[in-house]
């Protein structure tokens, strides 16, 4: 397995696998933490719990396609002469950082939404989009959002730094 990852990470499209693994991994841990913090956990059977996580994995793979399609298009359309430049790996590192930040920030957001409404994003979240100014004001009054953004940025920098070898070729 390690040999497989060594081959893939230096491939032009290896970043796509890494982003997919990050989407699935971060989503899994978000689902796990929300599941553990829910009240009715003791009422569920093992097959039901496995079904929840299996369906979640399936939806995470679908979600991963939304993340990797823009990266795929970029990698596909990027000429070889630009792709092989030394500075280009910084572009790839930024792409990795950006998508990781989005995933982690979304995970934080889901956690606080869960704490508030005991549900994952739903129609209430759509109201948040419609009444953005009021909602952002309420969120800034209720939570130290700057610290959470700093935490998401820190985690994203760490992950991008840790997996920087996936962006070298």
For the stretch 116-143, pLDDT in tens is 777 777 777 777 777 778 878 888 888 8
Q: HSE (CB half, 13 Å, CA atoms) of 56?
A: 19
Integer Cα distance of 73 and 129 in angstroms: 28
pTM of the full structure:
0.86
Least confident of 4-13, 62-71, 123-132: 123-132
| Number of C-beta neighbours around residue 90 at 10 A | 12
Q: What is the mean pLDDT of the chain?
A: 89
pLDDT > 90? residue 113: no
- Are 68 and 16 in contact by the 8 Å Cβ rule? The answer is yes
84: CB partners within 8 A, 6+ apart: 169
Of the candidates 34, 38, 29, the one whose C-alpha atom is nearest the C-alpha of residue 60 is 29
User: Which has more confidence, 123 or 112?
Assistant: 112
pLDDT > 70? residue 162: yes
């Amino acid at each position: 397995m390690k040999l497989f990852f060594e081959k893939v990470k230096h491939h032009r499209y290896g970043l796509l696998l890494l982003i997919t693994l990050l989407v699935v991994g971060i989503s899994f841990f978000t689902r796990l933490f929300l599941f553990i913090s829910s009240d009715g956990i003791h009422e569920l059977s093992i097959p039901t719990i496995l079904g929840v996580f299996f369906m979640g994995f399936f939806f995470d793979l679908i979600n991963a396609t939304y993340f990797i399609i823009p990266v795929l298009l970029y990698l596909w359309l990027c000429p070889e002469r630009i792709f092989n430049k030394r500075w280009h790996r910084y572009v790839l590192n930024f792409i990795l950082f950006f998508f990781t930040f989005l995933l982690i920030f979304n995970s934080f957001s889901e956690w606080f939404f869960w704490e508030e409404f005991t549900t994952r994003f739903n129609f209430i979240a759509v109201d948040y989009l419609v009444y953005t100014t009021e909602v952002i004001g309420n969120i800034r009054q209720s939570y130290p959002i700057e610290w959470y953004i700093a935490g998401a940025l820190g985690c994203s920098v760490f992950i991008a730094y840790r997996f920087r070898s996936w962006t070298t070729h």
